[in-house]
């Protein structure tokens, strides 16, 4: 169980790190479409 928990924590940390790049791209894309602050509404959050 502890091993599984550690794996989940590692995946969560990696997800948060990669999410910043994804959110910047999504915010840029939706900014073009006229939708601001898309990522800040938590749409991309698990």
**How far apart, in whole angstroms, are the C-alpha atoms of residue 14 and residue 22?**
12
Q: Would you state the pLDDT for residue 8?
A: 86
- Pinpoint the alpha helices (H) of 1-46: 2-32
Question: Tokens for 12?
Answer: 């969560």
Residue labelled with tokens 């997800």: 15
Are the beta carbons of 39 and 17 closer than 8 angstroms? no
Tell me, yes or no, if the pTM score tops 0.95. no
Give domain limits for the chain.
Answer: 2-41
Q: Kindly give the confidence (pLDDT) of every residue in the chain, 46 residues in length, as a single tens digit, with 9 standing for 90 and above.
A: 677 777 888 888 888 877 778 778 877 777 777 655 545 554 544 4
């Amino acid at each position: 169980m502890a091993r599984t928990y550690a794996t989940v924590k590692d995946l969560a940390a990696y997800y948060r790190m990669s999410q910043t790049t994804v959110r910047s791209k999504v915010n840029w894309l939706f900014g073009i479409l006229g939708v601001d602050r898309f990522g800040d509404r938590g749409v991309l959050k698990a």
